[in-house]
Structure 1
Amino acid sequence: MHKFCLIFILILCQNLYLSQSIKGFRIPDSLKAKDFKQLESAYNKVFRIDNNKAELYANTILSKGKKENNNNQIYDGYYKIAYIKGLESRSGYPYSDTLLSITRNINTKEYPAKAYIIRGILLNYEFKYNEALNNYIEAQNLSKNKNPDQFYYIKKLIGILKAATDENEEALPLFLEYYNYQKQKLNTNDRDIKSYIGSIFSVSNAYTKIKDYKRCKFYNNIGIEECKKYNDYTHYPYFIMSEGITDYYLKNYNAASENLLKIEEKLLKNRDVGNLSILYYYLGKINYDNKKEKEAISFLIKSDSLSFASNDFIPITRDRYEILIDYYKNKEDNKNQLKFINKLFYADSIMNNSRQYLSKEIYKKYDTPILLEQKEKLIADLDKKNFLLYWVLGIGLIIICILIYVYTKNKKKIKEYQKQAEILLKKSKDHTSEASKNIITKQHTVKEEKTKSILSDEKLQHIKLQLEKFENSNGFLRKNITVDILAKDFNTNRDYISKSVNELKEKNFSQYINELRINYIIEQLNTNEKLRKFTISAIADEAGYNNSESFSNAFKKTTNTLPSYYIKLLQK
């Protein structure tokens, strides 16, 4: 009966757990012949060293498990994928949820406790400590008197939670219990080298937290030697990093810098953003303490960028902002000074919300006399000038209203520019280049009849012919063309040219030149696809303008739209 129920549950869950495998994943040819033991071994060698490969092996385990209907391997595949995704700040919940769903009602040595463990680990990565602890307690109750490996492993996980909430004195005994348990297992057939070495790192890290650096180095050295002895390098870069940090606090700066730089490439390869941020912080501090200001600032900026990329901030790195703020203050770089003040406020808000147990400690530990002095001065100023608050609120409201008005106006402008660009495109399609010239000529004829009395017909006709020649030869593309230059070219005086253009074209000389140039460039844009890829500045040069601003203004005045909108429309 129990067996039948288990089969029934697995059938119900089949669609769910099949849907959670990676879409389109195919087992590589190089892995098809490998059995589960070989895949497990390959996974263990690269886990935390090259998580891309680790994920490949985990997916292969899951896929082969499904093909062979091997439930244990299916469970293991989901567990491993969830773990790796959590390490890389990607969502592992779909895999952990599926694992919990298909193991909730079974009773084996490992499950369902292991499903609660991985959920706790993922919640811990997101700083949801209470929820993580609840899952660990559930797992501990399930593993008690059934699976000592799990039972002690959960002690380690709870120790990690305590360390995260700065309860380091309480965390250390839990890590030591786990370490002693794993050490005892070394002489048995059930030894677990990876877990043993991991337990050493947990103890080493705990001693760092309570500032017992000599003990920390003692366990680091054990860990490094054991990695080499058992040829398991999963934790190796983290022992080296711990050595570097410990040497920094012991003021062994050269050794600290050497160790940290040694593992930079490995952390980059494994995309371990959180630890990279810490590594760059300590490299920044080493250089800062050694008066190498430029190098220090470069590393601290890198550290800050990675923290923002992962949205992960820890109190130990908070003073990087104080260093950066002071640096830019001394440089009188107000923009960057304000930037890092704002970043400091943001980092504090994240640390307060995500690490709620640390919030009081952060301020008690990190408030500086300078900040307190500034705070007192601000309070004194506010007591004297409370009315300024109302002015600021009033001005702020006015600014908001202005911004809304400007935004609305700009939005309408954009729509109008787009509409006018469409109208212009339609017009340019309706008329060939020659037809456009005929329209201009027609306008000229009408004006001629109205203005015969101003200039004699003979002079007007003579200048008219010269203007036509000027237009046909594209003389208007000549840069810096003026009435005086054209009068000289026509062998006449500027008044005649000016009056002739007014009478024949119904516009002043500047309008006349601009319209010729804009009509010309519109025609070129319509027919020359390469020209559309030019910058506005380059197109302006083609049209005879000295700069893009004067070109855009002339284009807008002539067509009621901007060249950028017209070009976008043409490209569509």
Structure 2
Amino acid sequence: MKKIPFVILFFLIQSLCFSQSIRGFHIPDSLKTKSFNQLEENYNKVFRINNKKAGLYANVILAKGKKEKNENFIYDGYYKIAHIKGLTSENGHPYADSLIEITKNVNNKEYPAKAYILKGILLNYEFEYKEALNYYIKAQQLSKDKNLDQFFYIKKLIGILKTATGENEDALPLFLEYYNYQKQKINTKDQDIKSYIGSIFSVANCYNKAKQYIKAQDYINIGIHECNKYKDYTHYPYFISGTGIVNYYLKNYKKSIDSHLEAEKSFVKNNDYWNLAITYYFLGKNNYDTHHEEAAVKYFIKTDSVLSISRNFDPITRDSYEILIDYYKKKGDKKSQLKFIDKLFFADSIINNSKQYLSKEIYKKYDTPILIEKKEQLIADLNSKNSLLYIYLAIGTLIIFVLLLLYIQNVKKIAEYKKQANKLLEKSRITVSLAVDYKRRKEESNIIEQKGKSPLSDKRLQDIKMKLELFENNKEFLRKNITVDSLAKDFDSNRDYLSKSVNELKEKNFSQYLNELRINYIVEELNKNDKLRKYTISAIADDIGYNNSESFSNAFRKITGTLPSYYIKLLREENEKL
């Protein structure tokens, strides 16, 4: 980058981050004479160990870089400050955005790919997985054939996203590739100790998530050994935390508690709220499983408090809310019970919204480009291959096309459900009752006269008609396991006659009649009762007589054109606008 454009750009962007890193910040006297190499060395010693100190060194690097107009150290300063802020649940995005802006025309080994990697890391810390993936893919494109370190590092980052969706078997090969790459470098002049030890942790963590606890502990032991060997303790507390998790699942509760209490000190010191929340969660689980309920509850409440501070949520902690709800139910504390029911409901909404789409995006945006890249390699090598490669190429293309087609169909289906949910809500607004309306009831009352002579006895038909009206008015259709046989018995009739009567009076078969009564009823109730909207689909289905949520959802979709989950979500959104 030329100096004059850089200076102009520097003054344009400094308003974004300069106030946070320079205004009011003074380089301590003890650091004024330090060289950039010394500051870098000091930063590396305390990163993830004492992030407050690491943040100080990062600010000094940025301040000195700007003062001396050294572009490389300005880049480095922005990168380090943003990363520290991401780790401590602060807003590092202005720094990452500035770094992307000032390096967008740079073309060297590090940048601009490193700026996009940083942005993805910050989004990952905030559980914005879909957006994080976009930046990783951009970085992968920029680093291709330029920087092997970045290329393999991005594999690790993609692996981290895959573990977030429970795709641990797919993530493990990525972590092992990164580990083997770093292991090969460790005895060369290009060794990167911090990345090497970090790669060991990634493998150990993935084995932990895959419930292969013995293998996880093997890699944790390797990691701790390497921390001591190279005197680099950046990842040490995470290995200790991993040991606590392994021992919990292996039911070594005492060892697990000791490890988590040791890790807690580092996470508190560094304001690492995410890992601190996980630590408190496992301390709660250890106490709960060993029947120390009061201690468990205290740790679960701490878990919730820390997650509230960080404004993040980890799905693994979900069952802590269930335990808290049961605990306060036994105590008769309805206020606290309701509080944690709301917390659980919120947790489920996060899980459903993030995890549901993440897995699709990773498959579509990461795996598919890899398949395409392989396809391009096949084409490049086509002259030296036999005709069998054409078959592989065709199969690969077909798979990609089918996956894309399925994805598009799924998007269209979701859009249609949302559209029908809006139509359903609009009907309720213009006071057209979704239950059987007055006009239909009047038509049914006159149906015998309108139809002329009925093949059924008028007197018996009138008797069935009256009983059906009582059946509807008394909401008896909400009972479970109603069949035409059981209702015929209640009506002192027989199956065939009741079935024909329903066809005659309602112009539909018995199954359609029963489903419409139930669905029209629940739509009205959902419109009126906001508490009902907080129930699970299974609970609602059970309340109106269905044996499972699938049969309820299918009936709801056939009658309304949408699914109950989409309609409930729309009602909640409308309620929030009021």
TM-score of the superposed pair, with normalisation by structure 1: 0.62
Structure 2 counterparts to residues 100-119 of structure 1, below 5 A:
100-119=100-119
Matched residue of 2:233: which SS? coil
Match of 1:459 in 2: none
1:212 and 1:139 map into 2 onto residues whose CA distance is 32
2:248 and 2:526 map into 1 onto residues whose CA distance is 50
Match of 1:239 in 2: 239
2:336 and 2:27 map into 1 onto residues whose CA distance is 50
1:215 and 1:39 map into 2 onto residues whose CA distance is 38
1:355 and 1:94 map into 2 onto residues whose CA distance is 27
Kindly state the Cα deviation for residue 246 of structure 1 after the two structures are TM-superposed.
Answer: 0.6
Unaligned runs of 5+ in 2: 361-475, 481-516, 532-578
Q: Identify if the C-alpha distance between structure 1 residues 143 and 387 changes in structure 2 by more than 3 Å, giving closer, same or farther.
A: closer
Q: Residue type matched to 2:126 in 1?
A: E
Q: Identify if the C-alpha distance between structure 1 residues 380 and 305 changes in structure 2 by more than 3 Å, giving closer, same or farther.
A: farther
1:11 corresponds to which of 7, 19, 32: 7
Q: Identify if the C-alpha distance between structure 1 residues 113 and 389 changes in structure 2 by more than 3 Å, giving closer, same or farther.
A: closer
Match of 1:28 in 2: 28
Match of 1:300 in 2: 300
Q: Residue type matched to 1:193 in 2?
A: I
Kindly state the Cα deviation for residue 243 of structure 1 after the two structures are TM-superposed.
Answer: 0.2
Kindly state the Cα deviation for residue 190 of structure 1 after the two structures are TM-superposed.
Answer: 1.1
Q: Residue type matched to 1:14 in 2?
A: F
2:80 and 2:109 map into 1 onto residues whose CA distance is 18
Match of 2:324 in 1: 324
2:50 and 2:4 map into 1 onto residues whose CA distance is 38
1:313 and 1:106 map into 2 onto residues whose CA distance is 37
Match of 1:169 in 2: 169
Q: Residue type matched to 1:186 in 2?
A: I
Match of 1:183 in 2: 183
Kindly state the Cα deviation for residue 137 of structure 1 after the two structures are TM-superposed.
Answer: 1.8
Match of 1:158 in 2: 158
Q: Cα deviations across residues 92-136 of structure 1 (Å, max 9, x unaligned)?
A: 111111111111111111111111111111122222223222221
Matched residue of 2:186: which SS? helix
2:359 and 2:205 map into 1 onto residues whose CA distance is 22
Percent identical among aligned pairs is 62
Q: Residue type matched to 2:93 in 1?
A: Y
Kindly state the Cα deviation for residue 353 of structure 1 after the two structures are TM-superposed.
Answer: 2.4
2:76 and 2:358 map into 1 onto residues whose CA distance is 35
Structure 2 counterparts to residues 120-519 of structure 1, below 5 A:
120-357=120-357, 383=518, 386=521, 393=528
- Residues 88 and 272 in structure 1, CA contact (< 8 A), matched pair in contact too: yes
Q: Identify if the C-alpha distance between structure 1 residues 337 and 108 changes in structure 2 by more than 3 Å, giving closer, same or farther.
A: same
Q: Identify if the C-alpha distance between structure 1 residues 281 and 33 changes in structure 2 by more than 3 Å, giving closer, same or farther.
A: same
- Residues 329 and 337 in structure 1, CA contact (< 8 A), matched pair in contact too: yes
Q: Residue type matched to 1:166 in 2?
A: G
How many residues align structurally?
376
Q: Cα deviations across residues 466-495 of structure 1 (Å, max 9, x unaligned)?
A: xxxxxxxxxxxxxxxxxxxxxxxxxxxxxx
Q: Which has the higher Rg, Structure 1 or Structure 2?
A: 1
Kindly state the Cα deviation for residue 206 of structure 1 after the two structures are TM-superposed.
Answer: 0.5
1:358 and 1:107 map into 2 onto residues whose CA distance is 31
1:203 and 1:359 map into 2 onto residues whose CA distance is 20
1:60 and 1:227 map into 2 onto residues whose CA distance is 27
- Residues 165 and 357 in structure 1, CA contact (< 8 A), matched pair in contact too: no
Kindly state the Cα deviation for residue 355 of structure 1 after the two structures are TM-superposed.
Answer: 3.0
Q: Identify if the C-alpha distance between structure 1 residues 275 and 387 changes in structure 2 by more than 3 Å, giving closer, same or farther.
A: closer
Match of 2:564 in 1: none
TM-score of the superposed pair, with normalisation by structure 2: 0.62
Matched residue of 1:243: which SS? helix
Structure 2 counterparts to residues 536-555 of structure 1, below 5 A:
none
Kindly state the Cα deviation for residue 388 of structure 1 after the two structures are TM-superposed.
Answer: 12
Match of 1:498 in 2: none
Q: Cα deviations across residues 205-233 of structure 1 (Å, max 9, x unaligned)?
A: 01011110001000000111111111111
Kindly state the Cα deviation for residue 393 of structure 1 after the two structures are TM-superposed.
Answer: 3.9
- Residues 175 and 202 in structure 1, CA contact (< 8 A), matched pair in contact too: yes
Q: Identify if the C-alpha distance between structure 1 residues 378 and 113 changes in structure 2 by more than 3 Å, giving closer, same or farther.
A: farther
Kindly report the root-mean-square deviation, in angstroms, between the aligned alpha carbons of the 2 structures: 2.6
- Residues 175 and 203 in structure 1, CA contact (< 8 A), matched pair in contact too: yes
Match of 2:548 in 1: none
Q: Identify if the C-alpha distance between structure 1 residues 284 and 24 changes in structure 2 by more than 3 Å, giving closer, same or farther.
A: same
Match of 1:97 in 2: 97
Q: Identify if the C-alpha distance between structure 1 residues 225 and 388 changes in structure 2 by more than 3 Å, giving closer, same or farther.
A: closer
2:147 and 2:302 map into 1 onto residues whose CA distance is 44
Matched residue of 1:26: which SS? coil
2:326 and 2:341 map into 1 onto residues whose CA distance is 10
Kindly state the Cα deviation for residue 261 of structure 1 after the two structures are TM-superposed.
Answer: 0.6
Kindly state the Cα deviation for residue 7 of structure 1 after the two structures are TM-superposed.
Answer: 2.6
Q: Identify if the C-alpha distance between structure 1 residues 379 and 173 changes in structure 2 by more than 3 Å, giving closer, same or farther.
A: farther
- Residues 351 and 359 in structure 1, CA contact (< 8 A), matched pair in contact too: no
Q: Residue type matched to 1:230 in 2?
A: Y
- Residues 127 and 312 in structure 2, CA contact (< 8 A), matched pair in contact too: no
Structure 2 counterparts to residues 530-541 of structure 1, below 5 A:
none
Q: Identify if the C-alpha distance between structure 1 residues 110 and 332 changes in structure 2 by more than 3 Å, giving closer, same or farther.
A: same
Matched residue of 2:134: which SS? helix
Q: Identify if the C-alpha distance between structure 1 residues 296 and 234 changes in structure 2 by more than 3 Å, giving closer, same or farther.
A: same
Q: Residue type matched to 1:11 in 2?
A: V
Q: Residue type matched to 1:202 in 2?
A: S
Kindly state the Cα deviation for residue 263 of structure 1 after the two structures are TM-superposed.
Answer: 1.7
- Residues 165 and 359 in structure 2, CA contact (< 8 A), matched pair in contact too: no
Match of 1:80 in 2: 80
Kindly state the Cα deviation for residue 17 of structure 1 after the two structures are TM-superposed.
Answer: 4.1
Q: Does 1:44 align with 2:44?
A: yes
Q: Cα deviations across residues 287-339 of structure 1 (Å, max 9, x unaligned)?
A: 11101111111111111111222222222111111111111111222222222
Q: Residue type matched to 2:156 in 1?
A: K
- Residues 55 and 80 in structure 1, CA contact (< 8 A), matched pair in contact too: yes
Q: Residue type matched to 1:79 in 2?
A: Y
Kindly state the Cα deviation for residue 283 of structure 1 after the two structures are TM-superposed.
Answer: 0.6
Kindly state the Cα deviation for residue 392 of structure 1 after the two structures are TM-superposed.
Answer: 9.5
- Residues 284 and 296 in structure 2, CA contact (< 8 A), matched pair in contact too: yes
Q: Identify if the C-alpha distance between structure 1 residues 98 and 188 changes in structure 2 by more than 3 Å, giving closer, same or farther.
A: same
Matched residue of 2:190: which SS? coil
Kindly state the Cα deviation for residue 379 of structure 1 after the two structures are TM-superposed.
Answer: 7.1
Q: Identify if the C-alpha distance between structure 1 residues 173 and 387 changes in structure 2 by more than 3 Å, giving closer, same or farther.
A: closer
Unaligned runs of 5+ in 1: 361-376, 397-572
Q: Residue type matched to 1:227 in 2?
A: C
Kindly state the Cα deviation for residue 378 of structure 1 after the two structures are TM-superposed.
Answer: 13
Q: Identify if the C-alpha distance between structure 1 residues 254 and 64 changes in structure 2 by more than 3 Å, giving closer, same or farther.
A: same
1:319 and 1:115 map into 2 onto residues whose CA distance is 37
